[in-house]
Amino acid sequence: MNLDKVFKNNEAWIKKQLATSKSYFEDLGKGQTPELLYIGCSDSRVTAEDLMGLGPGEAFVHRNIANMVSGIDLNAMSVVEYAVSHLKVNHVVVCGHYGCGGVKAAMQSADLGVLNGWLRNIRDVYRIHKTELNAITDEEKKYERLVELNVKEQCVNLIKTAAVQKAYRDRNVQVHGWVFDIHTGKLIDLKIDFEKYLHDIMEIYHLD
């Protein structure tokens, strides 16, 4: 890839934005008030704003391998804290995707060095849902189901944070679990019963 192309693209993009509004960058410079925190996979095919049709300023974005929300990941926890408690987003989305390399790697037995610890979190999701997953004989379907269950568990991890619990109590912040179908481009809402999960886990994870 010729990186000069990137800078040429940037020039063209600036022109395009200014054609829609002369004060486009002046407005961007004033600050951000996104409505949405998007937590997705780092996969190069799953571009956050593009697939949602959103532009700069509309979504606060965090991406990592297999869209994980780990309570000991200082990066993810800082993003959640900042977006929920300071930017005061009203929606938090965990978006997984079919064809996720991270989820696939967690389904196989291989020593992947420093990645082992990260993938172990996904193996834990498999362990929690072992009965359901082992009953699926079609490997592709099992893989897709693990992608969905991983999204659900990461939503549960979000609900375990004090920031989300407090924001739910104060302004009814909502957590959503989505999957991007890489084969069709379609965004699927898993319709996670946020209230039920919140109610179920609060007995143990209540922080605020």
Interaxial angle between packed helices 194-205 and 139-159, expressed in degrees from 0 to 180 and rounded to the nearest 10 = 60
Catalytic hit among 62, 100, 155, 176: 100
What does the binding site for Zn ion look like in residue numbers (CB under 5 A)?
41, 43, 100, 102
Instruction: Clarify whether 45 is annotated catalytic.
Output: yes
Least distance CB 144 / Zn ion (angstroms)? 13
Query: Taking a C-beta distance cutoff of 8 angstroms, is the pair 150, 95 a contact?
Result: no
Query: How far, in Å, CA of 161 to CA of 78, rounded?
Result: 11
CB of 37 or CB of 122, closer to Zn ion: 122
41 labelled catalytic: yes
Which of these is catalytic: 43, 95, 155, 176?
A: 43
Q: Which of 62, 97, 155, 176 is catalytic?
A: 97
Give the helix, strand, coil percentages of the chain, each rounded to 5.
50, 15, 35
In the complex, least distance from residue 78 CB atom to Zn ion, rounded to whole angstroms: 21
d(CA 208, CA 205): 9
Q: Which two tokens stand for residue 151?
A: 């999204």
| Whether 120 contacts 100, CB under 8 Å | no
Cα angle, residue 76 at apex, residues 73 and 81 outer, rounded to 5°? 115
| Residue 145 annotated as catalytic | no
Q: Reply yes or no on whether 129 is catalytic.
A: no
Query: Looking at beta carbons only, is 41 or 68 nearer to Zn ion?
Result: 41
Q: Looking at the DSSP assignment, which residues form a beta bridge with residue 94? A: 39, 177
State which residue, 100 or 167, has the beta carbon closest to Zn ion: 100
Is 100 known to be catalytic? yes
Give the Cα-Cα-Cα angle 173, 176, 74 (nearest 5 degrees): 75
| Minimum CB distance to Zn ion, residue 43 (Å) | 4
Record the tokens describing residue 71, joined without a space: 């309570």
Q: How far is the CB of 41 from Zn ion (least distance, A)?
A: 3
Q: Least CB distance from residue 92 to Zn ion, whole Å? A: 19
Nearer to Zn ion by Cβ, of 34 and 102: the residue is: 102
Q: How far is CA 79 from the centre of its chain?
A: 11
State which residue, 107 or 201, has the beta carbon closest to Zn ion: 107
Query: Could you give the residue numbers annotated as active site?
Result: 41, 43, 45, 97, 100
